[in-house]
Structure 1
Amino acid sequence: MIEEKGILFVLSGPSGVGKGTVRKALFEKDTALQYSISMTTRQKRAGEQEAVDYFYRTKDEFKSMIEENQLLEYAEYVGNYYGTPRKYVEETLAKGNDVFLEIEVQGALQVKENFPEGVFVFLSPPSLEELKNRIVSRGTESDALVTNRLQAAKDEIQLMDAYDYVVVNDQVDKAVEKVQAIVKSEHCKRERVAKQYKKVLEVE
């Protein structure tokens, strides 16, 4: 049997598009995917576990990792750092497991710069009006914040060209089916299969 390295799949899109909902539904159907565990400098909360919920590090440790390019992406939010550790992703992929990362657009672009061999999927709303309805239905956003989020979404949709695939999240089940199809098709790509056979056949 040909040993195959895993693939990093990155799901991204505007705030309110339903990334978390699609990811959760996907993982209920596809147990082979490994969810990328993030790293943070915030304090561990009750019931949380190291290397399960997050990798917990001090701010000095995190900053050292930034300087040593040990993170595929990172951001600072409310005084704490959050990021994706390169080592965890690479070790998981080396074992032949696919890694799935759900992240905001700016983070995804950082990952693409640091790990261009990943597969990048843009989750798009069926329309800006529908995106507005989803954000408003949360009931947690002020009118000004809704306007800001919609403008940010317009800006992020224009970055769609940086992605390999686009999935419209009109219905969650259909979006999940499309993401599953992307995962399957990526494993059948000629470039990936040929690379593995060349190793076996010792072809340069």
Structure 2
Amino acid sequence: MTDMPSDTQTEKPAVLPRRGLLLILSSPSGAGKSTLARRLMDWDPDLRFSVSATTRAPRPGEAHGVHYWFHDHAGFRALVEQGGMLEHAEVFGNFYGSPRAPVEAAMAEGRDTLFDVDWQGGQQIRNSALGRDVVSVFILPPSIAELERRLRGRGQDSPEVIAGRMAKSRDEISHWAEYDYVLVNDDLDATFERLKGIIAAERQRRDRQPGLSDFVRGLNREFEGEGTA
């Protein structure tokens, strides 16, 4: 059997470079956000999780730049003043935030960054200098009764903590309309498939492919005979 002529062989599709996106996942506690985030990291090893910065002291086994970026209060405030944080908040006397520089480096390499943040953190990131590259997804529970059932089913929190989380969930859910996409997590596997579909589509957006204009110009030169032998 002879090989087929080269002009009849199927050409490999062109793979164009793209700019990375910032994926924000938010939800009330118990809606499944953290589980979905872990599944996404397993699904795509190139998807990096945003490593937060904090002013709290490292705990045993925690490494700088791996678990957190550790700063003193003065250094953290300086980063905020210089625009080095995409979002930040104070929690029980310590500051937490998402450093801008590692995210910009990942974007330039065409890699995506995942943010597991609440609506306030998501709002700050959307309003930052990188806001146009944000894709935000809010995860809703199928019902409030199911949300409470999931929280109790964890077996991790006291009744008082669960009551506090439930009270906070109403405020969190009220911000659903600020997000690009909203998914009702009635079935984890189905929700994960929908989430993957969102990411796949957003990665192909025209404005995330900086080399697309040059590629089309090359096609036009072929029409004009400039690119043919």
Per the TM superposition, whether the score is higher than 0.5 is yes
CA distance in 1, matches of 2:211, 2:28: 36
**1:85 counterpart residue number:** 99
Matches of 1:110 and 1:65, distance apart in 2:
15
Specify the alignment match of 2:4 in structure 1: none
Aligned-residue Cα RMSD (Å) equals: 1.9
- The share of aligned pairs that are identical, in percent, is 35
The answer for unaligned runs of 5 or more in structure 1 is none
Match of 1:16 among 21, 26, 30: 30
| SS of residue paired to 1:185 | helix
1:58 maps onto 2:75 in alignment: no
Q: Which residue of 1 aligns with 2:131?
A: 116
Work out whether 1:102 is the aligned partner of 2:119: no
2:87 maps to a residue whose letter is: E
Aligned position for 2:192: 176
Tell me, what secondary structure is at the counterpart of 1:84? strand
Q: CA separation in 2, counterparts of 1:148 and 1:187? A: 37
Instruction: Report the counterpart of residue 84 of structure 2 in structure 1.
Output: 70
Residue 141 of structure 1 pairs with residue 155 of structure 2: no
Q: Is the 8 A contact 2:19 2:107 kept in 1?
A: yes
Separation in 2, partners of 1:38, 1:106: 15
Q: Determine the structure 1 residue equivalent to 2:18.
A: 4
CA contact (8 A) 2:54 2:94 kept: yes
Specify the SS of the correspondent of 1:43: coil
Question: Take 1:105 and 1:135, find their aligned partners in 2: how far apart are those partners?
Answer: 19
Partner of 2:10: none
| Selected match of 2:176 from 149, 157, 160 | 160
Question: In the TM superposition, what whole-angstrom CA distance separates every residue of 1:9-67 from its partner, at most 9, and x where no partner exists?
Answer: 11111122221111112222221211111111111122222211111111110011112
Greater Rg over alpha carbons, structure: 2
Tell me by how many angstroms 1:158 deviates.
2.1
Corresponding residue for 1:186? Answer: 202
Q: Distance in 2 between matches of 1:186 and 1:43?
A: 38
> Do the aligned partners of 1:40 and 1:55 also contact (CA within 8 Å) in 2?
yes
SS in 2 for 1:53: coil
Give 1:198's match in structure 2, choosing from 189, 213, 216.
213
Query: Could you tell me the TM-score, scaled by structure 1's length?
Result: 0.89
**What amino acid sits opposite 1:23 in the alignment?**
A
| Distance (whole Å) between structure 1 residues aligned to residue 195 and residue 45 of structure 2 | 14
Question: Counterpart amino acid of 2:147?
Answer: L
Q: Distance in 2 between matches of 1:96 and 1:167?
A: 26
- SS of 1:10's equivalent in the other structure is strand
Letter in 1 for 2:144: L
TM-score between both structures, scaled by the size of structure 2: 0.80
Q: Do the aligned residues in 2 keep the contact of 1:6 with 1:98 (CA within 8 Å)? A: yes
**Structure 2 CA distance for aligned equivalents of residues 94 and 185 of structure 1:** 19
User: Counterpart amino acid of 2:159?
Assistant: S
Q: Distance in 1 between matches of 2:194 and 2:101?
A: 29
Aligned to 1:35: 49
Q: Distance in 2 between matches of 1:57 and 1:26?
A: 29
Which structure 2 residue ranges, 5 or more long, are not aligned?
Answer: 1-14, 219-229
